[in-house]
């Protein structure tokens, strides 16, 4: 695509307070090398439609604000190069499976409420140590690997928009909160599995996932929420069958290697913390 070319953006416009139904508007935008979809939206807002509503912040794929449906795929506008789309038209709509606040702005409130419900932080019984730690909580590289990739989530909602179960069941927590429920439960410092199990093991809960894996295909950060959901299911089944003994979260003793691993899982190779 040469720099003098024009690219057309077809954008879904909708103000639920004034419009009876969504409509589509097409804009001709000058193409520039390296231009992202978010750059194109900014150009349109500056030059053709000052009322166009979209959400963004970091412009570098970190904050998770600019999730939208681009040429049929839920992804980040700031992380999507127009040239990489290899299309004459960039079709942009708000993320599906959410109500629209306006134009390209989805209402992410239900996602964050479901995220809150799984208690997305380390839970431990030794609250005193949590509030005023006397030492670091050590982990082996193997223990870190158990949850690391799931911690790269930026809460953009692309996986929620791609999920076929979300499309038919609004009570389903969705891939992001479920993946985070597993992320914290798989952390050797955490002891909150039983509490999170109550939030996800219910009607319309984690077992409603039928492993379509659309969530993992959509994730712009390379997180695999479908895998986390299957691991959460496995953990719940094993827990039900009493195949795991209750897990004790690791303690924080100065200079001492502590793991807090569940019984029944092979131990990590020896590792000395220096």
Verify binding: residue 157, ligand FES, rule CB under 6 A.
no
Name the token pair of 72: 């049929």
Q: Where in 69-88 is the site for ligand FES (CB under 6 A)?
A: 76, 78
Residue 126 · residue 191 · CB < 8 Å: no
6-13 and 89-93 beta bridge pairing: parallel
Q: How many residues bind ligand FES (CB under 6 A)?
A: 12
Nearer to ligand SF4, 40 or 61 (CB): 61
Taking CB under 6 A as the rule, does residue 77 contact ligand SF4?
no
Q: Is 11 in the site for ligand SF4 (CB under 6 A)?
A: no
Q: Is 64 in the site for ligand FES (CB under 6 A)?
A: yes
User: Which one of ligand SF4, ligand FES, none is in contact with 157 (Cβ closer than 5 to 8 A by kind)?
Assistant: ligand SF4
2 phi and psi, to 5 degrees? -85, 160
Pairwise CA distance, residues 83 & 34, whole Å: 8
How far is C-alpha 264 from the geometric centre of its chain's CA atoms? Answer: 30
CA distance 13 to 245: 54
The site string for ligand SF4 over 215-234 (x = CB under 6 A, - otherwise) reads ---xx-x-x-x---------
Question: CA angle 126-128-132, nearest 5°?
Answer: 130
Of 75 and 188, which has the nearer Cβ to ligand SF4? 75
199 makes contact with ligand SF4 (CB under 6 A): no
Residues in the chain: 274
Work out the angle between the directed axes of helices 225-240 and 193-200 (0-180°, nearest 10).
110
- Residue range at the interface with ligand SF4 (CB under 6 A); choices 2-10, 50-58, 86-94, 171-179: 171-179
By CB under 6 A, tell whether 68 contacts ligand FES: no
Binding-site ranges for ligand SF4 (CB under 6 A): 153-159, 175-176, 179, 218-219, 221, 223, 225
């Amino acid at each position: 695509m040469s720099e003098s070319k024009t690219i057309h953006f077809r954008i879904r416009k909708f103000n639920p307070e004034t419009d009876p139904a969504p409509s589509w508007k097409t804009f001709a935008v000058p193409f520039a090398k390296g231009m992202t979809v978010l750059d194109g939206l900014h150009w349109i807002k500056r030059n053709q439609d000052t009322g166009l509503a979209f959400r963004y912040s970091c412009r570098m794929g970190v904050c998770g604000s600019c999730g939208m449906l681009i040429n049929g795929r839920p992804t980040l506008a700031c992380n999507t190069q127009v040239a990489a789309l290899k299309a004459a038209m960039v079709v942009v709509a708000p993320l599906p499976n959410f109500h629209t606040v306006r134009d390209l702005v989805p209402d992410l409130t239900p996602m964050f409420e479901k995220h809150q419900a799984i208690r997305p932080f380390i839970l431990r019984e030794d609250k005193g140590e949590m509030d005023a730690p006397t030492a670091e909580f050590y982990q082996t590289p193997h223990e870190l690997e158990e949850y690391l990739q799931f911690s790269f989530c930026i809460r953009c909602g692309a996986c929620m928009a791609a999920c076929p179960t979300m499309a038919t069941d609004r009570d389903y927590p969705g891939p992001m909160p479920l993946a985070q429920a597993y992320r914290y439960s798989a952390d050797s410092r955490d002891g909150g599995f039983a509490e999170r199990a109550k939030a996800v093991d219910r009607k319309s809960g984690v077992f409603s996932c039928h492993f379509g894996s659309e969530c993992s295909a959509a994730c712009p950060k390379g997180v695999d929420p479908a895998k986390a959901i299957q691991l959460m299911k496995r953990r719940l089944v094993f827990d039900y069958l009493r195949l795991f003994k209750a897990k004790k979260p690791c303690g924080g003793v100065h200079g001492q290697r502590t793991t807090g691993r569940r019984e029944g899982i092979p131990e990590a190779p020896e590792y000395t913390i220096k």
